[in-house]
Copies of this chain bind each other. A is one copy, B any other.
């Protein structure tokens, strides 16, 4: 920077201002400085800038599992939005352990301007603590004190129930996990939606987590349940159910209809393609980043929440019970 200043015949502060506050420098000086900078291939050192300003222009994103397409899509959109806002992105994959996630978050909080937690696997108390310690925004989860962007599952589940009811299903199983079963925000909407459309609901708790393998296990219990349709709480478990049913020689949708919550590219990557409740992950990511950036600007504002609409995408995995023609 000193070199550029000398070559351009100005002081270092002017060079600095050309890059950080271009408006305060007269146009011709600015041009001259920029020309020299280009010639000398100079770019301001971001580390030094961070130190001087106390801002890193870096955001941190924590996800439980990048390999899961649900989170991968979030990573993708968050990463893009972050870059569009001229920030860099630290990524951490936390796994399922709450303590690990919390620890990682704390470490990351020290090196970033703010944290984005996607589907955090930690206790509400931990999230609260992080929120008090620095800017935090949630993606795909909601807590009163923390900014968040999440999907409106209640109306979404009504779409699903209406669709199944219209096809003639009167008894369905809902494949859930023990974790989400305890957070009523996810389970209650299903119950309410089924009640509204006169559907009998059989809740099938996966043994622990909503993984592919547990979906396969759940599929084994479906035929004896007396239900004709299955709603899977997320897409990994939905694929497990689909795969499990196929292995049993059952056919979708003629033996059982299957609906998944979440709609990543994988829903279309099997045959029949899965009818899905589309969660707007891209919008959630963008809103999450924006909320976080606002929070960084104004640390003491009221918590803000973005509830995003879902939509039902009907594909080949749902049909009339027993494969009947309409």
Contacts and interface: CB of A to CB of B under 8 A. Distances in A.
A56 B46 CA distance: 10
Contact of A269 (B65, B76, B243): B243
Contact of A46 (B72, B92, B110): B110
A256 interface: no
Most chain B beta-carbon neighbours within 10 Å: one of A43, A83, A266? A266
Interface string A191-231: 00000000000000000000010000000000000000000
B66 A88 contact: no
Interface string A37-55: 0000001011110110000
A10 interface: no
Contact of A67 (B50, B69, B89): B69
A67 B76 contact: yes
Interface in A100-115: 104, 108, 110-111
A257 to B, nearest CB: 17
A99 interface: no
Contacts of A92: 79, 83, 89
A266 to B, nearest CB: 7
A75 B265 CA distance: 19
A148 interface: no
A17 interface: no
Contact of A72 (B67, B90, B268): B67
4 closest A-B pairs (Cβ-Cβ)? Answer: A246-B271, A91-B91, A67-B72, A47-B50
Given A45-B110, A90-B90, 11 more contacts: A66-B76, A67-B72, A67-B73, A72-B72, A75-B93, A79-B92, A89-B90, A89-B92, A90-B91, A212-B265, A247-B271
